[in-house]
Chains A and B, each alone.
Chain A
């Protein structure tokens, strides 16, 4: 079970970095349609947050405010860290709620958001075309 979770995370990390790299470089040939339906990374993000286009909208605002976080691998690692090394919905959701309890929040266009949630949105932004 632990091995399965580990390999799932590694896969997600690689997938997210791949599409993000493509999106950032504008190399659509490399990236293909970023986070296309059926992509593992897209499915994962969709599973933990919701609509990716809407998430990307807020993610872009977050990245404008925190440009040093424009690194998909680093974002993913940070999310994974606060979710106790797990990436399933329950763990990420618990991490998001915990952010609100502890006041680990950011203001994105007036919305008070959990830092982890904002990073998930940023991943959606980095991974969108």
Chain B
């Protein structure tokens, strides 16, 4: 059932068993797990079915660190940010869960194997083929091409899967509508998690609408699932018993904000003969109605040896150099440079072949555009705090200070070089690297709309906001879902993992609320 909170009488008091705040991928996944159970569930969403500029404006805030659009990177509506999701799916790597002695604050409370079954279920929810992320045999058979045997030991490959992408609101709306025990409250903004006098429980939620109504909702358990920026904001705004905010006894809420830094224009690869790079390495290949493409990533062995963080690279043919049908680089100087390199190393790049295209002797080769994302070290100074300005509901807006470190940069540069070395070692191509190893990040670094880490998970309340069950330390009935609980970010797009974690949390809550 769906209810518009603006249609309820002012000061409606609602009681339920489970309150889930936020109807994005995590919140919807969690709510669906309770469909048909003998429990009442309320899913509380700030927006409606469609985007609304006034609602979206509640996301405005200040960005004081690396430039970051708090409005553009998130969507405040039913379905959440899955409404602009690109659909990239890949689980985190085993090493991402480990405590790495070269990476302060690393280590999840459990290994990746803890999520194995949940990853399979999550794959269903996001409508991809399960378990094919590293299955070279499967993709070799499906693509009909031999895969490369990498030569340097620095890199390995995984197969990124593409969700349709699943728009959680549209895809699962009917399920929620049909579930007699689930009520989705739309246009309902949670403004405060009211605490009990003992400070160990949430007593009720304060809810406000943009039309001026005020409601309350009381539950046995509460789950905050509004994304890493807003999860921190709501905890920091909930100051009934602690001026620093709920669950913030150790000043950790909002700290450790992480993104996947995306650097554009960090380099380009030229290849004389693109057919030597199997298609699945340079474009999406469909098999069994599922799409996948290779991603290059550093091997765990190499990361351990060199004490580096994680990274991911993908590529696609961006243009060809030939007399006819040319799509050269937009920069003529760069195009000439590409052609020079293709001509200079022509024999080395073709294994000695002389004629590349008998129908077109002018054919020189192609250039590949590259995409990348890298892991950033958990950094307590990269953080979300409250600003002095207020939104339309009278709540303090957020101030985001996203920061990167020299360790992040050094890792990234090392992996870029690895990619260049791998293409050279395989005799496939030559890479021009446009990121200087000069101790500075390039002027432009973007995020991937991947917000993580602000309510990080740890068994120790002094180093994490939530415990291994995603329960806020010190609060008996408050949980957090979503990528804000990630202690480290890896480089996999977070949706698959946060859905897996939501399914795991659902299992925990089923036991707790039974």
Contacts and interface: CB of A to CB of B under 8 A. Distances in A.
Interface of A: 46-51, 53-55, 57-58, 89-90, 93, 96-101, 103, 105, 107, 109-114, 117, 121
A58 B344 contact: yes
Given A100-B425, A105-B421, A112 B433 contact: yes
B345 interface: yes
Interface of B: 151-152, 267, 337, 339-341, 343-349, 351-352, 417, 420-422, 424-427, 430-434
Q: Please give me the 7 A-B residue pairs with the lowest Cβ-Cβ distance, nearest first.
A: A50-B346, A100-B424, A51-B343, A100-B425, A112-B420, A54-B343, A54-B344
Given A49-B345, A50-B345, A58-B344, A111 B432 contact: yes
A51 B433 CA distance: 22
Contacts of B432: 109-112
Contact of A96 (B339, B340, B344, B348): B348
A81 to B, nearest CB: 18
B479 to A, nearest CB: 47
24 contacts: A48-B347, A49-B344, A49-B347, A49-B348, A50-B348, A50-B349, A53-B343, A93-B352, A97-B151, A97-B426, A97-B427, A100-B152, A100-B421, A100-B425, A103-B421, A107-B433, A109-B337, A111-B341, A111-B430, A111-B433, A112-B424, A112-B431, A117-B345, A121-B344
B345 A101 contact: no
B25 to A, nearest CB: 39
A48 B352 CA distance: 8
Contacts of B267: 110
A112 B340 contact: no
B457 to A, nearest CB: 37
B393 to A, nearest CB: 51
A102 B341 CA distance: 22
Give the interface SS of chain A, mostly helix, strand, loop or mixed: helix
Given A49-B348, A96-B348, A101-B425, A113 B340 contact: no
B268 to A, nearest CB: 9
**Secondary structure type dominating chain B contacts:** mixed
Given A47-B347, A49-B345, A112-B417, 19 more contacts: A48-B347, A48-B348, A49-B347, A51-B346, A58-B344, A90-B352, A93-B347, A93-B351, A96-B348, A96-B424, A97-B425, A100-B425, A101-B425, A111-B341, A111-B431, A112-B420, A112-B430, A112-B431, A114-B424
Contact of A117 (B151, B348, B422): B348
Contacts of B417: 105, 112
Contacts of A97: 151, 424-427
A100 B351 CA distance: 15
A22 to B, nearest CB: 22
A93 B348 contact: yes
Contacts of A47: 347
B151 A89 contact: no
A58 B432 CA distance: 13
Contacts of B431: 111-112
A98 B337 CA distance: 25
B347 A112 contact: no
Nearest to A112: B420
Nearest to A50: B346
B352 to A, nearest CB: 5
Given A93-B352, A101-B151, A112 B346 contact: no
Contacts of A53: 343
A54 B340 contact: yes
A93 B424 contact: no
B152 to A, nearest CB: 5
A42 to B, nearest CB: 13
A50 B351 CA distance: 11
A101 B152 contact: yes
Given A58-B344, A101-B151, A110 B425 contact: no
A90 B349 CA distance: 12
B347 A50 contact: yes
Contacts of B337: 109
A105 B344 contact: no
A110 to B, nearest CB: 5
A90 B341 CA distance: 20
B344 A101 contact: no
A103 to B, nearest CB: 6
A101 B426 CA distance: 9
A113 B421 CA distance: 8
A109 B432 CA distance: 8
Contacts of B152: 100-101
A109 B337 CA distance: 10
Nearest to A58: B344
Contacts of A105: 417, 420-421, 424
